[in-house]
Structure 1
Amino acid sequence: MEAAEAQTVILRLLKAAPGLQIGYFITDNAHALCNQIRARLGIQLVTQQWDVFSQAFWELIARRLIFIGGDRSLNQCRVWLTERGQRAANGEQFNPEDPTRYMERLLEAAPRTSDTTQQYLREALKSYEQECFLASSVMLGGAAEDTSLDVAASFVSWQGKPADNLKAILENPKQFYVYKLQQFEKRLTAAKGSIPPDLSENIELNITTILQLIRLTRNDAGHPTGRRVDQEDCYQNLVVYANAHRKLHRLKVYFDEQSDA
C-alpha cells in the first residue's frame, strides 16, 4: 500500500472513530493499528505497513486534514478530522481533498481521457493539495482546454466533410484557442438533433461550463492581473470540471464509435 492510499484509509478510520489515540500512528505497533482498521472499516491488510501509515499520518497533518489535541501529554492526545478532512472523508464522487480517489473516479468514468489532460489535471490537484490555488487554477485551465479540443477532434471525424472548415480552424496554430472552442460549440449545438437525447441534453451548458472555466483560469489566473483564487473557488472549479469532463467524455466516445462503425 502506498502513502496516498494509506491517507484515504486514515481519513475513513477517523470518520468512523473520531478522537482516536495518537499512539496508533506514532508508536511502532502495526498490529494495533491494523486491528483498528479491520474492526472499524472491515479492511484486512495483507502486510502490516506501519511506516507507510505513519508517513501518511504526518502528511495529512501537513495538508490540514487532521489535527491533534486533547491533552498536554503527546501520548494521551487524540486525533480528529478538520473541516476539510471531514469533506475528504465523506467520499464525494469527485473530491479534490482526496486527489488519488478523484483521479481514480475520473478515469473510471472517462477511461479515454488523454495523457495530456491527465498530466495537467494531476498538476492541478497537486497544486491544490499544496495550497497553491493560483497555480492549480492555471493547470486546470490547461486540462479543460485539452479536453475540449480532444472532443472537438472526435466531433470533426464523426461529421466528416461538413466539418472540414472546423477542422481547418482547429488545426490552425495561429487561431486562438477560445475562438476554436467557440466555433466547436456553435457547430456542436447545430448538430444536437443528430445526437442521442441522453447525450445531447444540456450539451450547451456543459460546453459553456468548460469555456467559463478556461476563461477564469487561463485568462484571468494565468496572467499577472493580481487576481487571487481562494481555496473554496479552487475546490469548486475542480469539482465542476470533473462533472463536465465526464459528460463530454461520453460525447467523445459516441463520436469515436460512430466514426469507427
Structure 2
Amino acid sequence: MQEITELKIPYEELKHLTIEVIRNSGNSFQFKSIANAVGHFAVNQGIVANPNQPGFQALSFPLQQVDENRLRQILWDLIIERVLTIGDYHNDSWPWLSVTDYGRTALLSTDPIPNDPSGYLERVKRDIPDLDEIIETYLSESIRTYNINQLLSATITLGCASERALIVLIECFADTYVDDAKQSGFKKKITGKFIKSQFDVFDSHIKPLLTHFPYELRENYANTLHGVFQMIRNNRNDAGHPTGIKMDKEALFANLQVFIPYCKYIYGLMDYLRTNHHN
C-alpha cells in the first residue's frame, strides 16, 4: 500500500475533488475513508500517477501527510458552511462525519454550487468565456463571503455582480443602434441614472423589438432577465440598508445558482445584438 505523490493542485481544486467524493460517499463516513477516496479519485483523474505496479488491484491510495492536512482544512470549511457536521447517528465525535440536511440539498444539486468555488467559477467561465472582469470580481467575493456565512456581504456583492452585468448589457444595446440620433437619445436618457432607472429605459426600448428576436431570447426575457434582476436587486437593497433583516442561506444559495443562467442569458442577448443592430 503505497502513498500517492503529493497533490500539487490549488486548495480550491482539492476542495472540488473532495466535494465530488463526498457526493458519492453516503450520508456518513470516516476521515480516512474520505482521504483514501480522494487519493483514488485523483489517480483516476490523472492528477497523479498510480504508485502501484501495472495490473496490481490496489484497494487503498493513501495521501501524503501534507495533503491529509489540507483535506482536514477543507472538511472543517465544509463544517463551517453547514454542509457537514462532526459525528453521525452511532458516533458523536471525530473522525466520523455526516452530511447535514442543507448539505444534502447542496450536494444533490445538478447545478454548480457555491460551496465548490472552483467548480462554480469553472462552469461560469465555460458558459461565458468572455465574462467581464468586474462581474467575476464581485461574483467571486460573493461566493467567498457566502462560504463563511457572511450572508449580508454575499448578498450585496452578488447584487453588484448583477448590476454590472446589466450595465454591460445596456451599454451594448446603446452601441448597436443603427440610427445615430436614436442612439444619442437613448444614451441621454440613461446617463447619470441609477441602475433601476437605466433598466426601465432599456426595458421600454427593447420590448418592442423582442418579437423579432429568436424564440429562446424572446421567451426567457421576462423570467430570466427581468425576474432575476429584480429578485437579486431587492435582496441587495434589503441587505444594504440598516433594517436588521437577516438573509436566508438557502435563498441566497438559490440566487447564486440562478445567477449563472441569468448572466448567460445576458451574454446571449449581447451576442445577438452585436450581429443584429437595431433602431
- CA deviation after TM superposition for structure 1 residue 53, in Å: 2.5
How far 1:214 moved relative to its partner?
A: 4.4
Query: Normalising by the residue count of structure 1, what TM-score does the alignment of the two structures yield?
Result: 0.83
Q: Is the alpha carbon distance of 1:85 and 1:232 closer, same or farther for their aligned partners in structure 2, counting shifts above 3 Å?
A: closer
Which residue of the partner structure matches residue 130 of structure 2?
112
| 1:169 counterpart = 2:189 | yes
> Share of identical aligned residues, percent?
23
8 Å Cα contact 1:21/1:78 also seen in 2: yes
Alignment of 1:10-25 (within 5 A): 10-18=18-26, 19-24=28-33
Matched with 1:3 is 11
Check the 8 A contact 1:96/1:238 in 2, yes or no. Answer: yes
Change (3 A) 1:52 1:200: same
Matched, 1:247 2:255: no
Root-mean-square deviation (Å): 2.6
Aligned AA (2:48): V
Partner of 2:41: 37
Task: Report 1:181-196 matches (<5 A).
Answer: 181-196=199-214
Aligned equivalents of 2:224 and 2:42: distance in 1?
42
Structure with bigger helix share is: 1
What code does the residue aligned with 2:14 have? A
For residues 236 and 34 of structure 1, the distance between their equivalents in structure 2, rounded to whole angstroms, comes to 28
Instruction: Give, in angstroms, the shift of residue 3 of structure 1.
Output: 1.8
Shift of 1:14: 2.4
Q: What is the aligned partner in structure 2 of residue 217 from structure 1?
A: 235
Pairwise CA distance, 1:34: 5.2
Q: Distance in 2 between matches of 1:64 and 1:214?
A: 23
**Which stretch of the first structure deviates more once superposed, 6-15 or 42-51?**
42-51
Q: Is the contact between residue 148 and residue 181 of structure 1 (CA under 8 Å) also seen in structure 2?
A: yes
Mapped pair 1:137 → 2:139: no
Gaps of 5+ in 1: none
The TM-score with structure 2 as length reference comes to: 0.78
CA contact (8 A) 1:120 1:140 kept: yes
| Alignment partner, residue 48 of structure 2 | 46
CA shift, 1:24, in A, is 4.9
Q: Are residues 37 and 115 of structure 1, via their aligned partners in 2, closer, same or farther at CA, if it must alter by over 3 Å?
A: same
CA separation of 1:38/1:145 partners in 2, compared to 1, >3 Å: closer, same or farther? closer
Q: Report the CA distance between 1:191 and its aligned residue.
A: 1.3
Question: Structure 1, residues 102-138: CA drift from partner, whole Å, max 9, x if none?
Answer: 2211221122221111111111111111111111111
| Amino acid corresponding to residue 119 of structure 2 in structure 1 | R
Look up the SS of the partner of 2:176 in the other structure: helix
User: Aligned-pair distance for 1:38?
Assistant: 6.1
- Aligned-partner SS, 2:112: coil
Q: Which amino acid aligns with 1:124?
A: S
1:87, 1:114 → 2: CA distance? 30
- Residue in structure 1 matching 2:91, options 71, 82, 93: 71
Count of residues in Structure 1 that have an aligned counterpart in Structure 2: 248
Paired amino acid for 1:235: F
The answer to whether the 8 A contact 1:7-1:60 is kept is no
How far has the Cα of 1:92 moved from its partner? 2.3
Contact conserved, 1:116 with 1:146, CA < 8 A, in 2?
A: yes
Q: Is the 2:18–2:38 contact (alpha carbons within 8 Å) kept by the matching residues of 1?
A: no
Contact kept? 1:38, 1:44, Cα under 8 Å: yes
Structure 2 gaps, min length 5 = 1-8, 50-62
The change in CA–CA distance for 1:176 and 1:87 in structure 2 (over 3 A counts) is same
1:176-229 per-residue CA deviation (whole Å, 9 max, x = no partner) reads: 221111111111111113322232223133332243134313322211122221
Counterpart CA distance in 1 for 2:71 and 2:233 is 40
Are residues 114 and 100 of structure 1, via their aligned partners in 2, closer, same or farther at CA, if it must alter by over 3 Å? Answer: same
CA distance in 2, matches of 1:136, 1:34: 29
